[in-house]
Structure formats: C-alpha cells, structure tokens
Amino acid sequence: MRYLPHTNEDVAEMLQVVGAANLDDLFSSIPENCRFKGELNLPSDMTEWALTDHMATLADRMACSPEYRVFVGAGSYRHYIPASVPYLLSRSEFSTAYTPYQPEISQGTLQAIFEYQTLTARLLGMEVANASMYDGASALAEALLMAIRIERGKKTGIALSTLIHPHYRQVVRTYFEPTGYKIVELPCLPDGSTDLSAVDEIENLAAIALQSPNFFGCIEKIKAASDKAHALNALSVVCFTEPMAYGLFKNPGSQGADIVCGEGQSLGIPQSFGGPGLGMFASLNKYVRNMPGRLVGKTTDRDGKRGFVLTLATREQHIRRERATSNICSNQGLCATMSTMYMASVGGTGMRELARLNRDKAEYLKSELKKAGFRIPFERPGFNEFVVEFPKGFESTYQKLVGKKIVAGIPIECHYPELTDHYLLCATETHSKADMDTLVKEVTS
C-alpha cells in the first residue's frame, strides 16, 4: 500500500474533532525547548513517478545481491526462499502482522504460532518455544534476564563470550546497565572458541552464554560449557545467528542448554538490508513460567474439537505488573509465519541438505583461499562463515573489488582491534562455484 498523506482539509477536520486550534496546540504537551522550529532540510516535492525513480537511484548505490556477489553474513544471510513461501504468505488468511493479545477466536493466527513453536522447539532440541521475539539480539538479552529471574535474583553474574555477535553484546549491555547485574566477557582461545577458564572465578554466576556457530563462524563446545555451567549451579544459555547450522550439527538442546535463542532470518525471511528479523526463543519446560513473551497451546473444546489458545502470557497486560517477566512484545507475526512456512516447505531432509551445502561451499572457499596463500587463523570446524587474514593494505583491493561488484566479506577490526586485516567471509547455497573461483582469482590478482 502506498503512503498517501492527509490533505489540509483532513488535518483541519481532525484538529476540530480533538478541540485543537492548530498543530502547535496538538503538540503543546512537548516542552518548548524540545520542539524543532526551523525548516526541515528536505528536497522539494516530486511527482510519484519522479520519486520512484529517485528511490531506485538511491537503492542502486547499495551493493546487494544478485547484482553484486556478496560474501557477507555476520548475522544476516542470503538463502534461497522456496516459491511456496511468498505464495502462501500472499494469501489473505496469513497476510497480517497481528499478534494475539487475548485468548480469542482467531484460530488461524493461533494455529500458525503453535506450528511455529513446534518447529522451533524441534530445530533447537528444546521442550518449549515461545511465539517469537523482535530479533536475535533482544532475545539474548531477555534470555539472560530470564536466567537471573530463575535464580530469583540471588545470582547476578553473567559470563558472556566475546565471540557472541558484537551487536548482540551491545544490546545486552544496554539492557543490563541500569540493573547492576555483572557481565564478565570471556576471551577467545587461539582456535576460535571461547575460553571458559575464568568462569570459576565469577561470583554469583547465574549463566554462561555462548554463540554457536560463533561470530568467527566456529562451532563452540556447547556440551563442555553446559557441563561447566551446571557444575557451578548456573544455567547454560546458547544463542545463534544462523539456525540452519542445526540441520547438520548437534542442536543446543541435545548438548545440555537450558535456554536457546537467536536470529531466525535465515528461515525464509529476506535480508531486507538488515530487517525485520525474528527472535527465536526456547527453553526447558521447567522454566516456562519465567519465559518472556507469549505461548500458544493446543486444547479441545467441550465438543471434543481441536482448538488453539493463548496459554501463557506473562506480560503486565495479562498479569499483575510485579509478576510480569518482561513487557517485550512478540515479533511481528508475519515473520514467524514466514519461517514456519519455510521450515515446513524445506522439511528435515531439506534442512540437512541445505546445511551440508552451506558447510561444503564455505569449506571449498576456505581451502581455495588457503591454497592461494591467505592465512585462516581459526581452524575449528565451522558452518558457512570463516575468518581470513589478508595482506596489509588489503583495503584498497577490497574497494577495487566493490567496483567490480564483489563484496569480499567484512573487516572485523572495528569489533576486534587486535585482528587487523582480518575479514569475515560467508558462503551459502546461493553462491556458485564460479562466484567463489572469481573471488579467489580477484583477491590474488
């Protein structure tokens, strides 16, 4: 739907209805020094077709697939989306961003969420999943607050791997700053996994949080971290940016994780320049009453017919404020529905095949770059991302490649200052062998 602004007559009519003489009256509750009085620096008005051309010109500045060969993942991945997903999503029964606030009669919406929860729990190997959250970063922050709640506030320390996506850690710090809870960041070992040796010294440890595959693309030792957490009477929290990896590798639930969360964009949601995302969230059933968000369950009515109901919603809208676990809203239902359609379309076998393709293609690109003389600093098994050290001054080559419509990963020095000239590269099923061979040829020429 196109955006159609109100006419002056519309505005005058609305002001009359609310009893305001003009727009300044409408905003009179905003302090005077907080109101912008000048002229906005905007271009002059355009016709709709001129504006469409202008927006297309702006969009052309972006280096994106399929025009560009983009080897960037870092939390947002380009995957093939089966035609069944956009087709089903275009049907009016599903095309809504609405999420249910009441145990109501919208059975289609409730069943879609129930199916999403079921598929999510199976993929992550957990007992219960909620109706989704905003994105992976907010899901991790909520998971750590949930760990604090489970310990009834008696434990206030969180061990957070530095190999969790830097933006996720930033969101966690924002959530935790006013709380007084202590966050200890765990360093990286030379093989690209998290160093857990400092965990024993953290007082009042509530949880250990890892990401697998981590930001360097390496598979973490989740079982060892979970055992360590449980030995210290703490919880194991595992997050992810690439859930497709669990089509090939053991999922967190089978390795002792208590809470699992992360970004579900890979599952049928276009990258869309960074959003919207899908926060997937699951835990063991014994912790369900501390889970944020909402949960849909299946039941039968008095005639014995199957039905779906909003089973658990621990927001202050539904229960007393002091007992609310979080006031976070569910993700837009459309993204959860999209991922449900994707998981159902691909199925378990398809997920395994796709995961294997991702792993194999990344390993091919990694080995070709290694043969070409570039250093791979972290040799742990990975999925579809890995870190490469290019020669000093690679930045100029990088920019030349962008001019040739190739984006050779992203530099990670801004997040890890010690890793100068290190780049994070990604290959998924959408990258052909010719794409990867061209990249290797160009960086060596």
The domain limits of the chain are 69-81+353-444, 83-342
Q: Which residue has the higher pLDDT, 170 or 91?
A: 170
CATH of domain 69-81+353-444: 3.90.1150.10
Domain 83-342: CATH class, spelled out: alpha beta
- The pLDDT of residue 62: 87
Angle at 410 between CA 408 and CA 416, to 5 degrees: 145
- The pLDDT of residue 1: 47
CB 124 within 8 A of CB 246: yes
Q: What is the pLDDT confidence band of residue 86, given thresholds at 50, 70 and 90?
A: very high
Going by the DSSP 8-state scheme, the letter that residue 254 receives in this structure is G
In whole angstroms, what is the distance from residue 204 CA to residue 177 CA? Answer: 18
Answer whether residue 184 shows pLDDT above 70.
Answer: yes
3-state secondary structure of 381: coil
In this predicted model, what pLDDT tens digit does every residue of 210-233 receive, in sequence order? Answer: 999 999 999 999 999 999 999 999
In this predicted model, what pLDDT tens digit does every residue of 370-419 receive, in sequence order? Answer: 999 999 999 999 999 999 999 999 999 999 999 999 999 999 999 999 99
Q: Which residue has the higher pLDDT, 161 or 102?
A: 161
CB 408 within 8 A of CB 386: no
> What percent of the chain stands above pLDDT 70?
95
Listing DSSP states for 305-371 in one string gives -EEEEEEEE-STTTS-GGG-S--PPPPPHHHHHHHHHHHHHHHHHHHHHHHHHHHHHHHHHHHHHHH
Q: What Rg do the C-alpha atoms of the chain give, in angstroms?
A: 24
- The pLDDT of residue 61: 87
Supply the mean pLDDT for the chain: 92
Same CATH topology for 69-81+353-444 and 83-342: the answer is no
Q: Please give the average per-residue pLDDT across 279-300, as a whole number.
A: 94
> What percent of the chain stands above pLDDT 90?
76
Q: Please give the average per-residue pLDDT across 304-312, as a whole number.
A: 90
In the chain, count H helices and then E strands.
11, 14
